[in-house]
């Protein structure tokens, strides 16, 4: 029943936007982008923080007049930065944190824009990358770990800023081709070519990258950092081919392909391999 309701809702929205595009194409494009970039879940309330985050020290940063939160578990001078994915927040690292804390390093986790305790309503990998940049300028992490779109944001960040302080990168279930994500959205709502063309032009204007070149694995060709790339063959959110693209182009990378973990990829064995890679 829920699948039928979801299908009806998405197609109704798409039909409305398609009709609107013939009267006001700019408005139809803006509404389509707003829907595309607005998370529906992942928010947190400070008075109801998960126990995992209650043990951390909170620090507020700001990018483009919007505040975003980080959580710090203090350790030695070497820093690990954690970057969650779409419709999630810093609490997604609960299980991995149990394995990272014994390393004795300082751990910092970000709440991305429009997620967790952070402000804003719009979320994108490039915007997330700017938040990463704000944090890395202060803390200069040596290891950075990203799940899902958090991994894509890391690749966009490294491509733009070329952070030489980062020595190791870990991508978990990360998408590469933005065009695939954008095309899936168009297909989901059955949007017409008028809106599709306008959206693609808007992406270029906003992100300064053509949609065909907006791909993490293309950026990775020039990355010098050591990378551990993990993807599950049964991931239905981000297909395993995306992980393989990263592995094929990132010169100094190790690729782990799992089975049965889905998109979340919470797994004891995988976390032990991540710890070994960091160590």
Confidence of residue 9 (pLDDT cuts 50, 70, 90): confident
Residue 164 pLDDT:
85
Q: Which domains does the chain have, with CATH numbers?
A: 1-37+179-213 (no CATH), 54-177+215-279 (3.40.50.1820)
pTM for the whole thing? Answer: 0.93
pLDDT above 90 covers what percent of the chain?
90
The pLDDT score that the predictor gives to residue 218 is: 95
Q: CA nearest 113: which of 145, 135, 139, 140?
A: 135
Confidence of residue 2 (pLDDT cuts 50, 70, 90): low
- Mean pLDDT, rounded, for 40-63: 93
């Amino acid at each position: 029943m829920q699948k039928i309701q979801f299908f009806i809702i998405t197609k109704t929205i798409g039909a409305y936007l398609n009709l609107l595009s013939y009267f006001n194409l700019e408005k139809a494009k803006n509404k389509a982008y707003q829907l595309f970039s607005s998370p529906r879940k992942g928010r947190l309330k400070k008075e109801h923080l998960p126990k995992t985050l209650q043990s951390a020290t909170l620090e507020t940063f700001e990018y483009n007049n919007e505040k975003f939160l980080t959580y710090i578990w203090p350790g030695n001078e070497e820093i690990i930065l954690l970057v969650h994915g779409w419709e999630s927040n810093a609490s997604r690292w609960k299980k991995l944190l149990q394995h990272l804390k014994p390393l004795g390093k300082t751990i910092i986790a970000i709440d991305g824009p429009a997620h967790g305790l952070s402000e804003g309503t719009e979320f994108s990998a490039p915007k997330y990358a700017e938040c990463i940049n704000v944090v890395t300028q202060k803390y200069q992490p040596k290891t950075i770990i990203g799940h899902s779109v958090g991994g894509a944001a890391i690749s966009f960040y490294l491509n733009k800023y070329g952070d030489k302080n980062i020595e190791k990168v870990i991508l978990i279930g990360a998408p590469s081709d933005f065009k695939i994500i954008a095309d899936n959205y168009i297909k989901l709502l059955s949007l017409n070519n008028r809106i599709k063309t306008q959206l693609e032009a808007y992406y270029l204007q906003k992100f300064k990258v053509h949609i065909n070149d907006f791909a993490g694995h293309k950026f990775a060709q020039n990355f010098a950092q050591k990378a551990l790339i993990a993807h599950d063959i049964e991931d239905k959110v981000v297909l395993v081919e995306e992980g393989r693209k990263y592995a094929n182009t990132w010169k100094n990378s190790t690729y782990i392909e799992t089975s049965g973990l889905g998109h979340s990829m919470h797994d004891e064995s995988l976390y032990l391999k991540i710890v070994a890679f960091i160590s």
